[in-house]
Amino acid sequence: MGYSKESYLKAKTILDRRRIESENALEERRNILFNRSPEARELERRIARTSLDAARAVYSGKDVKSELENLKIKNQTSQKRIDDIIAKLGFPPNYLEKWYKCDKCQDTGYVNDKMCTCMKNIIRDFEYERINNSSSLKLCGFDTLSVDYYDESERDDMKKILDYCKDYANGFSQNSRSILMMGKSGLGKTHISLAIAKAAVDRGYGVIYVSASTVCKKMEYERFNEKIDDTERALMECDLLIFDDLGTEFMTAFLMSTLYTIINKRLAESKPTIMSTNFDFNEIPKIYDQRISSRILGAYKVLTFTGKDIRVKQAIEGLSDDEE
Ligand SMILES: [Zn+2]
């Protein structure tokens, strides 16, 4: 499925605007040139008339070939003279060409029917932004997470979890396994989920990151107002779904069955989902009905985070970084 249509359309709008801007800028430069050199304006007019002259030559009954050759030479001479004027005025040689942001695709976003890197980068940045807007932390990499933040007794376990998640992120594909991250808040679950999200986006996959309570409210709203179930479909279809803070939402029968459908459908299609929750093995079945909890606990790779809140340590470290 890849990146969202929304980001794709936004990128297209940016590129359309860039092309218009480069046309307008060229028009502006032409005006500056012609105001400073009326000769250049006249030469340009002469060149513009060439096709008319060529048509005339064809119908004149004269020797068409030599007439066209003459026109070509005249054109080249005019062009050369314009180039000289441009140089004399101190303008760059490409003054009368369009200046593109990306020369590879001339701001069309495509090279030989393949999406250009510039367009991919714009879309990727919009995907980052979309995830940032729906998460409590900013999108980040694994480089900002260290096992040193954890107590010594937990470091070995945390290293295993971190290594697993790094490998998972590096090798992420549409058919990667689903993961359930369990443990108290402040142990790095959201941070690690976002690092995986970033890696997946960088690999070209479409990621949806939602907090369970926000998305459930949204789905309830859509249902209540008989809106098209956009959210539900997006959650089912994205390459990677990250469901943060499971268990904090208020579960109605409707949400229970919707959540079950999403979990089930994604598992059936081998699409990865990452869920994180502050609740443990015993608490999950109390929050969700049997069908949901047994699906998650049975089919997902369960990672259990233990230890004390690392956010204080991270914050202190952040302060000392600033002092350097
Ligand atoms: Zn490009």
pLDDT tens digits for range 277-310 = 998 888 888 888 888 889 998 999 999 988 777 6
Domain annotation covers residue 5: no
CATH number at residue 277: 3.40.50.300
Same domain, 229 and 302: yes
Identify which has the larger pLDDT, 147 or 118: 118
Which of 102, 119, 150 finishes a domain? 102
Domain annotation covers residue 273: yes
Residue ranges making up the domain that contains 165: 135-323
User: Which whole number is the average pLDDT over 39-61?
Assistant: 86
Cα-to-centroid distance, 106 and ligand 1 (Å):
6
Q: Quote the pLDDT of residue 226.
A: 75
Cα-to-centroid distance, 23 and ligand 1 (Å):
16
Cα-to-centroid distance, 100 and ligand 1 (Å):
9
Same domain, 78 and 208: no
Which of 102, 119, 144 finishes a domain? 102
pTM for this prediction: 0.77
Q: Which amino acid is at 200?
A: A
Percent of residues, the chain, with pLDDT higher than 70: 94
Quote the number of domains for the chain.
Answer: 2
Same domain, 210 and 156: yes
Rounded CA-CA distance 46/43 in Å is: 5
Domain annotation covers residue 120: no
Cα-to-centroid distance, 268 and ligand 1 (Å):
38
Domain annotation covers residue 191: yes
pLDDT tens digits for range 62-77 = 788 888 888 899 999 9
How many helices (H) and strands (E) the chain has is answered by: 13, 7
Q: Quote the pLDDT of residue 76.
A: 94
Identify which has the larger pLDDT, 250 or 300: 300
Same domain, 182 and 76: no
Rounded CA-CA distance 32/136 in Å is: 50
Percent of residues, the chain, with pLDDT higher than 90: 52
Domain annotation covers residue 3: no
pLDDT tens digits for range 220-244 = 888 888 776 678 888 888 999 999 9
Cα-to-centroid distance, 110 and ligand 1 (Å):
7
Cα-to-centroid distance, 1 and ligand 1 (Å):
22
Cα-to-centroid distance, 22 and ligand 1 (Å):
14
